[in-house]
Amino acid sequence: MNILLVGYGKMGKTIEAIALEKGHEIVDRIDRHNLSDLSRYNGSNVEVAIEFSQPSTAFDNIRYCLENKIPVVSGTTGWLDKKEQVHKICLEHEGTFFYASNFSIGVNLFFKLNERLAKMMEPFMGYSVGMEEIHHTEKKDEPSGTAITLAEGIITNNKHKESWALGTGSSRETIPIISKRQGTVPGTHLITYSSLVDDIEIKHTAHSRQGFAQGALKVAEWLPGKKGILGMDDFLKI
């Protein structure tokens, strides 16, 4: 495949290494130093763009690709207030947009486990739920996109929860999310249901970026011929 990397930080470089091992071609690497080079590409010379850039540039990068017939696999978080605009652009241009807050297969199974547990806990009002996420110090946004997805999974499946909030102070209807930034931690997410008599915890710990990068590349390989707005449920058929 002819792959355009949009964002060339640690994730972009990890994806590049795996893609080259598998025989794919990286047509270019776009980052903040050469953003103008993006204008050289369109659907005739790129099969897919894998976008792991920055929250401040993600929307413009994705918009350009969709308007120029380049299918997009995006994993950037922190820009999702504009996600509906991207969906509209994608549909208007009959494009292909695949977004996931986390491409790890293990994390996506964890999402489903989280939703199931939230539904099971709904009748038991003696438990309060909270979340903690830990990432490396270079991560720009907090809470993480994965933490937001987990919180949304609880809210959808437990009628007693209406929103999430960053920090510890919250109402009974709100899920508190504590964000920590430590060293080079790839990503840890802990959900705890606490009562006076016991705690129930589920936890996902990433050991490296390899799982995220492998998942993003597998999605890119799966994407040709697909149209519209897609996500990990479509890919995994969960």
- In the set 135, 161, 189, 204, the catalytic residue is 135
* Pairing mode of beta strands 128-135, 188-194: antiparallel
From 139, 160, 218, 226, active-site residue: 139
The DSSP line for 15-81 is HHHHHHHTT-EEEEEE-TTSGGGGGG--TTT-SEEEE---HHHHHHHHHHHHHTT--EEE---S-GG
Q: From start to end of 75-173, where are the E strands?
A: 96-99, 128-135, 163-166
> How far, in Å, are 98, 178, 181 from residue 138 at the CA level?
25, 17, 8
Q: How far, in Å, CA of 78 to CA of 69, rounded? A: 24
Backbone angles phi, psi at 230, to 5 degrees: -130, 165
135 catalytically annotated: yes
Q: Are 55 and 80 in contact, with CB atoms under 8 Å apart?
A: no
- Catalytic, 237? Answer no
Beta bridge partners of 192: 130, 201
Answer yes or no: are the C-beta atoms of 49 and 7 closer than 8 Å. no
Q: Which residues are annotated as catalytic?
A: 135, 139
